Each structure stands twice: as structure tokens, then as C-alpha cells.
Structure 1
């Protein structure tokens, strides 16, 4: 995960983009710059509030409306939206963000909605978990979340060294403790990804619905987007009717994902089960052209010949 630094000729266009958000916020809710690293945009619609967290540079890189994730999706459902945006890989560890959520909580902002949902993936999922404590009884949708990046608690987490200098103690620090006030936490992760599985194991409580996404790696949300599953999954979580059976039926669509197919292929190779590998390659090749699978099938057939 690398920081994205805007080119010099992007600076003015980014400022124009911010001006546009200021106008939208003033007209439909509010827009705030939280210190130098974070931004918040609130749009009032219906009685359900979706709170999202993402990296601002990801938003700016998009070619469409450059709005926070899910703006069109949230709007289509008639929900209100509070989009938090980070300028870099901050994990939202900033007193300005802490003060912002303290203020919303103390002013009863979240009490003005029938349902409050916090959503995020990876860094955003960590933020969704910790800041949901400002709205007890909320629903939390966390995809591949981190419990903490505190070196004393998670010394095995080596992926995000750029954020190690930030403190993960104090206010809004340890996600597994803070998310206990949520009515429900939908926790999505790949148990085959060791660091993600270790983070997931730190979350305990009767309000947790663990939904395992095997062979999907850390970027589960990206794969769901490619498969057209992200919005249906999120909508089902918001409605409160995403059962394990329904979720795993929806996940059958991943069988058509090239990335997922390659993960299965790599597992079959590691198991040294050529007959199974050949059968799987046959199934994939019946659906699409895939030279990599054709080569793997050829190698497996040669291995069987040598054994025979």
C-alpha cells in the first residue's frame, strides 16, 4: 500500500474539487476539513445513515463524480451519508477526527436517525469499528479489518510500517473493545490470509457475524466490486437479513472470477494432486480461454504419466 502524492498540476484541480464539495455540503448537509489530513462530507436524505471511510486519493483518482464511496448507491436507497476521507494511509489516527466524532455524539447527531451503519474495508474497516462507538447500537460492516496496529499487541503485522509511528492507544484505539457497543458487526475476512485471520480472531462478542471469504485474499471488496456483489452484500447487511446461507449462495459468483480461479489453482498445485488439478483446469477452460490453466493441465498430465 503506497501513498499517492498528487502531481503539482493536480493541485489546483483538487482545490476546485474541494470547493465543489464545500458547495454540496453547504446545500445538502455539511462539509468539514478535519485538520490537514481528513475531510468529512454529510448529505442528508432519509432516516438511515451510512458512514463510510476511505482514502481521499482513491476518490480523487476516480474518473466519475469523485464522491465518497457509495455516494450513488447510498443516494439510490434514499439514505443519508457521512463520508470520511483520509489524505493518506493515516488509519484516521488524528485528534481532529476524534474530536469530530466526540462532537457528533455529544450533539446527538446520530440520534436523529432510525438506523446508523458504519462501513469500511481494511484501513476503513478499522475506522468503522472504532468510531461506531460514537453511535451505540449501530450496524458495522467491516471487510478485512485490522484490530489494531499497536506493535505491542500485533507485532506480527508487518504490512503497514508507514503507520507504526502513530499511536493506537487512547481515544478510539482498540477496535475489538470499541465495536462491542454495536448492535451487529458483519466481519468479512479470508481465513487463509494469516494476518487477516489473526486480526479477526481478536474480535470477540455475541454481536459478531463472521463471514469467511476463502481464497479471496485481503482485497475482498475489490473482488466483490468486479463481481457485482459489493452493493448487494452491503444492502443486505443494512437491511439486517444477510444470513450465512444467503451470503455463501451469493459468493458462488466468485467461481467465475479469474483471480479466485488462480487462487484455487495454486492451492491444488501445492497439494500435488494432479488429478484434481486436471479436473479443475477442465472446468475453467470450458468457461473461458485461459492459457495459464492449459499449461498447468499439460504439466499435471505429464506428472501423471511419469507416475504411471
Structure 2
């Protein structure tokens, strides 16, 4: 992002802050925008997809949706792979806690995914009793903890994961409840999830969703529904799982299942699953499935796929 783009974005956020709440430039890498609504506050953090964008003007992640629900929104924006490890960000949350900012609200929710999921858990200790919605969070990227099993996010390894708001599983212990979404088949994400322990942690296991759980839920059209349910205390874990069943017809999810079967070298099951998907879907939209069926058919002397007659 160029300096001119940053200035343009800052000017936009500053005007929104003046009109509806406040805006704060925390340091060169982080900004905070508060948009006042009702007595529910949702605190969000940019994830890596947002932090890497070279978009001239954008709101911090989730602020537009949160405001549209009538809730108050506090969005923390990031430029780059920061994991929000900044003294200026720490000082900002210390200030909010010490000045009683969070006490103004009947309910406080911290919300984020991946890098932002880490931040949602880590900074929730500034508002004890909060609810945390954390999608595929990291517990830490401290190499003394993660060396040997977490080899992603090399650019963030230089960050200091000690001191204030650091080890997310400890920081989240003061939350009323943490909703932790993860795919147990993703080794790194599963290990991070296992480090979050305690009676306030509710695990939502999203098998075959991969690391992009939020993205897939968004494409399924259920992310907002689940978020509204959790923020409003109108949904249970069983209710979330019921909604997640919609994944079975999603192309991205179906492809993840197929890839898993192919990797496990289970030809018979791969063949049956791919044919079942093709029988239910217009085959031109599933060329990968057709190719797998016909490759296995050739090797195993099975019938090739032919589209059903219309």
C-alpha cells in the first residue's frame, strides 16, 4: 500500500470516526475505528487477507456488517503480518480497560479469524466476561512453543510474542465463553486449538473446511447467520452444527473431500463419492470430479462417467 493510499484511507476513517464515534492512528501499522451503535459492542481485527490488500479505501474487517446489525463496532486495522504485536495496540487496549470504555456495554464480543482470531482471544482479557468468536486462531507464534510443528507465517516470527496480551490461551481464560472454530484435519490448526483449554471454550469442529473456514462459511451464506446467533445468544453449538450441514452441497467443500480421498489412495471410495457428486450436479461445473472418476475407471476397469440423459 502506497503512502498516498494510506493517507486516503486514513482520511476516510477519520471522517467516519468524527461523525459516528472515534478514529485513532495507533502506529504506522495499526488503526482503530469505533462506530457507535447500541449496547452490544463487537471488537474485530483485520485478518491476513485484509492486511495484505492494496485497496485505497476500506473499513476494518467486519465493521460494515456489525454496524448494519445496529451493534457498536470497534475495528482494529492492520497493515501487514503484524499479529497486532505492537506496544501501541497494547497501550490502546489498556486505556480502554482503565477508562471503563467496555463497561458502557451490556455485551462485548471479540471476533476474528486466523491472525485476527489470535488477536480476538489475546485482547479479550481487556474486557473480562466478554464473548470470543475465534476462527482457526493461533495460540502464539513464539518459536519456543511452536518450533517443529508450525512452519507457516515466517514473516511474523520476528515479532515479540511475550509480555502483555501475548499467549492467547491464557488471555482468554477471563472470557465468559470462547467459540473456537477449526478443522481437526489441519494439523497446525488442530494443535493450536488443543492449546486452548478450559470450561469456557466451546470447540466447533469443521471437518474438511481447511484453514479458510470464514471464507467458506461466507460462500455458503451462513457466516452472518452464525455470527448473529452467537452475538445475540440465540444459538447453541448444536444449532451451529445444524447450520454447518449446508456445507455438503458446496463446491469448495466437496473438492476438499475429494482431495482428502485421493490423498488417502482410496480408489473405490473416491470413485463412488465423485460419481455421486456428478450425479447431483451439472458435470461441467465439476471437471475435477469427472477426471478423477475416469482416471480410476481406466485403472480399475470400471464404467467411465457419462452425464445422465435429460
- Asked whether the equivalents of residues 59 and 69 of structure 1 are also in contact (C-alpha less than 8 Å), the reply is no
Aligned mate of 1:277, from 270, 294, 305:
270
- Asked whether the equivalents of residues 189 and 196 of structure 1 are also in contact (C-alpha less than 8 Å), the reply is yes
Any residues of structure 2 matched to 1:24-39 within 5 Å, and which?
24-39=16-31
Query: 2:179 corresponds to which residue?
Result: 186
Which stretch of the first structure deviates more once superposed, 94-103 or 21-30? 21-30
Give unmatched runs, 5+ long, in structure 1: 1-5
Aligned mate of 1:40, from 32, 44, 52:
32
Aligned residues: 298
Is residue 109 of structure 2 the alignment partner of residue 144 of structure 1?
no
Give the deviation of 1:237 after TM superposition. Answer: 1.3
Task: Summarize deviations over 1:185-230 as a string: whole Å, max 9, x none.
Answer: 0000011100000000000000010000111111111111111111
Query: 2:294 corresponds to which residue?
Result: 298
Is residue 7 of structure 2 the alignment partner of residue 15 of structure 1?
yes
Is residue 199 of structure 2 the alignment partner of residue 206 of structure 1?
yes
The whole-number CA distance in structure 2 between the counterparts of 1:15 and 1:64 is: 9
Give the deviation of 1:64 after TM superposition. Answer: 10
Call closer, same or farther: CA 1:246–1:123 in 2, change over 3 Å: same
Is residue 150 of structure 2 the alignment partner of residue 157 of structure 1?
yes
Query: 1:3 corresponds to which residue?
Result: none
The whole-number CA distance in structure 1 between the counterparts of 2:11 and 2:175 is: 35
Query: 2:306 corresponds to which residue?
Result: none
TM-score normalised by L of structure 1:
0.91
- Asked whether the equivalents of residues 57 and 87 of structure 1 are also in contact (C-alpha less than 8 Å), the reply is no
Give the deviation of 1:84 after TM superposition. Answer: 0.2
- Asked whether the equivalents of residues 191 and 213 of structure 1 are also in contact (C-alpha less than 8 Å), the reply is yes
- Asked whether the equivalents of residues 52 and 119 of structure 1 are also in contact (C-alpha less than 8 Å), the reply is yes
SS of equivalent residue, structure 1 residue 104:
helix
Which stretch of the first structure deviates more once superposed, 232-241 or 62-71? 62-71
The whole-number CA distance in structure 1 between the counterparts of 2:190 and 2:238 is: 21
Task: Summarize deviations over 1:207-256 as a string: whole Å, max 9, x none.
Answer: 01000011111111111111111111111111223323211221122222
Query: 1:264 corresponds to which residue?
Result: 257
> Over aligned residues, Cα RMSD in angstroms?
2.0
Query: 2:67 corresponds to which residue?
Result: 75
Is residue 121 of structure 2 the alignment partner of residue 129 of structure 1?
yes
The whole-number CA distance in structure 2 between the counterparts of 1:110 and 1:203 is: 24
Which stretch of the first structure deviates more once superposed, 83-92 or 157-166? 157-166
Is residue 221 of structure 2 the alignment partner of residue 228 of structure 1?
yes
TM-score normalised by L of structure 2:
0.91
